[in-house]
Amino acid sequence: MAPFLTRLLKALCESSLRILLLFFVVLFRSCQFVCVRVLRAERRKSVSGETVLITGASRGIGRCLALEFAKHGADTIVLWGRNEEKLSSVKKEVEEIGTSRCHFYRCDVGDRQQVYRTIQKVQEDVGTITILVNNAGVVHGGTLLETKDDKIEETLRVNTLSHFWTTKSVLPTMIARRRGHVVGIASTLGLFALPGVSDYVTSKFSLVGFYESLAVELKQQGHRDVGVMCVCPGHTTTDMFKDLTTQSFSLTPQQVAEQTIEAVKTNQRRVILPRVMHLTWILKSWLPGSWMWNTLYVTGALKDMEKFCTKR
């Protein structure tokens, strides 16, 4: 009995110590958040006069980003996508908002040569890109064994590799002109996994790594004038995850667009939306591994994903 009591007492002490530490970490992070907000508010950047290229701008988050950049006075907005009819309709919407010029180009971002060719054309027609928003993405849905090899490759080409090609194309000019911003739309599924979308999750975890690498690389080389930002939104009500019936904590594409532009203006590095999703860091790194699973189970997220996959 005595060894059992000693073990129990030890476990309780360890847990209390962890909870106390957690409390201080949360307190410290909150103070840091407030200070950074106040300091950054003084150094707000404007997007007026910028030339913005948005991939995947024919609908969803990309479309809202285009409209939002127009509202904030961007000089030129370049839309990329594959559906020209939809791109043309977004162009009209952008032009109705304000004074921004708008151009659209058909480009499959999963095709490296097409990306390089189209960027060149944009630079000839429009000029230098000063803000690049890598947003285009696809999801298929299915377990690893169910997902066809070419679908896995497509997901990685569109969701991840395209960011390498577009960024490599615009970065040299941004560095030379000491002005620019590269924004990547990743996902909260770049921070934790849900079942049934392993290729998508892999593509988004890779993006989180890509933007972190890019940021430290530019900092080390002294290119502090080029901003790098990775946005990790949770479930958003667009076509992409429309079969995912999760209602709680869902975002609208409008909210994602607004907060992305606010984050560009305040030069943030990583944006996790909604803010409650920061909890996943705690769930993953501070608490036993099963807590994340239990949260997803209790909130119904696992069941929702199962339904999402069966509808595909």
Ligand X SMILES: CC1=C(/C=C/C(C)=C/C=C/C(C)=C/C=O)C(C)(C)CCC1
The residues binding ligand NDP (CB under 6 A) are 55-62, 81-83, 86, 108-110, 135-138, 158, 185, 187, 233, 235-236, 238-241, 253
Active site residue 297: no
- Least Å distance, CB 296 to ligand X, is 6
Closest CA to 108 of 98, 118, 122: 118
Residue with tokens 């036993």: 288
> Strand pairing partners for 80?
105
The contact mask relative to ligand X for 202-231 (x = CB under 6 A, - = no) is ------------------------------
Rounded-to-integer distance, Cα 93 and Cα 87, Å: 10
Q: Which is nearer to ligand NDP, 156 or 175 (CB)?
A: 156
> Strand pairing partners for 134?
184
Instruction: Yes or no: say if 200 and 159 are a contact pair by the CB < 8 Å rule.
Output: yes
Residue 83 touches which of ligand NDP, ligand X, none (Cβ within 5-8 Å per kind): ligand NDP
Rounded-to-integer distance, Cα 235 and Cα 125, Å: 36
Tokens in use for 171?
Answer: 């970065």
Residue 81 touches which of ligand NDP, ligand X, none (Cβ within 5-8 Å per kind): ligand NDP
3-state helix vs strand vs coil in the chain, percent to 5: 55, 15, 30
User: Which region among 28-36, 112-120, 234-242, 261-269 touches ligand X (by CB under 6 A)?
Assistant: 234-242
User: Which region among 79-87, 88-96, 183-191, 214-222 touches ligand X (by CB under 6 A)?
Assistant: 183-191
Answer yes or no whether residue 187 interacts with ligand X by CB under 6 A. yes
Instruction: Yes or no: say if 200 and 140 are a contact pair by the CB < 8 Å rule.
Output: yes
The contact mask relative to ligand X for 266-305 (x = CB under 6 A, - = no) is -------------xx--------------xx--x-x----
Tokens in use for 127?
Answer: 């000029």
- Least Å distance, CB 179 to ligand NDP, is 25
Tokens in use for 251?
Answer: 């975002």
Residue with tokens 């392993």: 198
Q: Which residues are catalytic?
A: 200
Q: What are the residues binding ligand X (CB under 6 A)? A: 187-189, 192, 234-235, 241, 244, 246, 248-249, 279-280, 295-296, 299, 301
